[in-house]
Amino acid sequence: MASQNFIKAPSVEEIVTALNADFEGKVTIKRTKARRVFVSCDRESIYALCRYARSILNFEQASSVCGVDWVDHLQVVYHLSNYFTGTVLEITVDVPNDDPHIASVALIWEGADWHERETYELFGIIFDGHPKLERLLTPQNYEFFPFRKSYKLRGQN
Amino acid sequence: MADMWVTMGPQHPFSHGLWTLKVRVDGEVVKDAIPVIGYLHRGWEKECENRTYPLIIPMADRLCYSASMTWSHVYCKVVEEAMGIELSDRAKYLRVVADEICRLQSHLMWLAAMGTDLGNLTVFLWALREREFFLDLNVKLCGQRLTTNYPRLGGVRNDMPYFFERDCMRAVNRFEKVLWEIIGLTDESSIFLSRMRDVGVISRKDAANYGLTGPTMRGCGVDFDVRRDDPYCNYDLLDWEVPVCKEGDAYARYKVRIEEMFQSCEIIRQAMAKLDSIPKTDPIRVKAPRNVPAGTHFARVEDPRGESLMYLVSDGTDRPYRLKVRSPIFVNVSASKHLVQGVRIADIPAIMGTIDMCLGETDR
């Protein structure tokens, strides 16, 4: 891996070429538009992809990490941001319901720390290798994950 | 001396809302800190899944009382992106004017709070007095002082009322002069300077790593502004500058915010000139459909406090399947542990004051 050299301000085409070259078969480019790249990735290579995005493609900031409950599976969505081009890389990773584990990226970007804690407490997705995976917004004694679709609000069906 | 844990908050003059900073001190020097949030968690994102799209606009206002315009803007922007709606030029510039008025009054609120944090009550009174002029503009434009409920899916609610341009330019021209007087109270006060300089220093590399955004990040030398680098609402057609300071201390963040206020005045002036050249018959609002086509979209906007991002998952119905809010303060406050390390406990209000806390959007 890492056949590429560091690119300070990669264009959308350069990002797509680099990802296709170094993550063939692991990363699917879904669509692109001006300053936006949307990719999906398998669960095993998310840490390597994030390391690559940080060190080679210069995505210096993890804007957000969030979860989505698709009922038949869970999903983690990353938004990474490059300061020099204003490009945002969106990565979606599917996580099965019965084994909701995924590698933590909090060691790559410290800014992702609280986002992962929030995703853990609201969706029950466990980030392996996170320095402190505890509940953040909700009380520590909660035993349910309130943002899952199985948790109904009043009036919601 | 043995280490000791001191709990600052949730009710504390420096906290500007309900949150706790637990600090481990050795004598007066801070060794470690743990921010504790969540006192205001309302499950905002989950609530939205239960409401139709237009009903969420006033809820987005309530995310942050002093940045309500940008929060409803970013929400409308992500839904418009999902619907594939392009705004008319008139609606775009009206949003620019509304956003910048919001930024001015939000920064003035911050300056007032900063003044009380440092014991300078004159700054507090003067900044709040100036803020009233912009709140009056909000009343004229939207009928509300704080929770404005102005943007709509596909445009804005109403055009400018009569004489709004005149009143707005009067307020802006006056403010540019008065801001220099307020700067005289802070920049020429040796107490203010000695409490702000060289405290809470963050390097550019760390700022990026911690995920800081907005004036907090630009005070550390990161030259990035969503309005310029990922332009929306014709911001790229206006001529203005992004203020950046390299020092990274509390004073640099203060300087960036002050300079941003001048730039906001400039943006309002230019946007008003552009609005003048657009005929009044230009639509301010395009009709938006009730349902949003299935798909995932995100949009980001430069909030007064940083980069606000919303991620929308729609399933083709009239309610969002999932709406994620990326709040700038949520991330900035997670870095507070690094901001206060090594400083004296009395410097914490000065450092945390420059982050401009707002708990409504942090806890959601």
CB nearest to A63's CB, from B46, B307, B335: B307
Name the 3-class secondary structure at B34.
strand
CA distance A140 to chain B (A): 11
Specify the pairing of strand A88-96 against strand A36-41. Answer: parallel
The predicted pLDDT at position B173 comes to 93
pTM of the entire predicted model: 0.90
Closest Cβ opposite residue A137 in set B38, B311, B324:
B38
Domains and CATH numbers, chain B: 4-363 (1.10.645.10)
- Asked whether the beta carbons of residue B324 and residue A64 sit closer than 8 angstroms, the reply is yes
Nearest to A111 among B300, B331, B363 (CB): B331
> Distance between CA atoms of B225 and B214, rounded to whole angstroms?
7
> A8-22: per-residue pLDDT in tens?
788 888 888 888 888
Instruction: Determine, for residues A63 and B309 on separate chains, whether the beta-carbon distance falls below 8 Å.
Output: yes
Which 293-332 residues of chain B touch chain A by CB within 8 A?
A: 296, 298, 300, 307, 309, 311, 313, 321-322, 324, 326, 330-331
pLDDT score of B233 = 86
List B residues 212-251 in contact with A (Cβ-Cβ < 8 A).
212-213, 222-224, 226, 229-230
ipTM: 0.88
Contact B309 A64 (CB under 8 A): yes
Task: Report the residue from A81, A111, A147 with minimal CB separation from B45.
Answer: A147
Q: What is the pLDDT along chain B (364 residues), one digit of tens a residue?
A: 678 888 887 888 777 888 888 999 988 899 889 999 888 888 898 888 888 999 999 999 888 888 889 999 999 999 999 998 888 889 999 999 999 999 999 999 999 998 888 888 899 999 999 999 999 999 999 888 888 889 989 889 888 898 999 999 999 999 999 999 999 888 888 888 888 888 888 888 888 888 889 899 899 888 899 988 888 888 888 889 999 988 888 899 999 999 999 999 999 999 999 998 988 888 888 888 888 898 899 999 999 988 999 999 998 888 899 999 999 999 998 888 888 888 888 888 888 888 888 888 888 8
CB contacts of A111 in chain B (<8 Å) are 209-212, 331, 334-335
CA angle B149, B154, B157 (to 5 degrees): 35
**A102 exposed, middle or buried (CB, 10 Å; 0-12, 13-18, 19+)?**
buried
pLDDT score at A157: 63
Q: Do B224 and A83 touch (CB under 8 A)?
A: yes
In the prediction, which pLDDT does B100 show? 92
Residues from chain B contacting residue A92 (CB–CB below 8 Å): 296
Whole-Å CA distances, B52 to B26, B195, B243: 53, 48, 39
Closest C-alpha among A54, A64, A124, A1 to residue B331: A64
Distance of CA B273 to the CA centre of its chain: 25
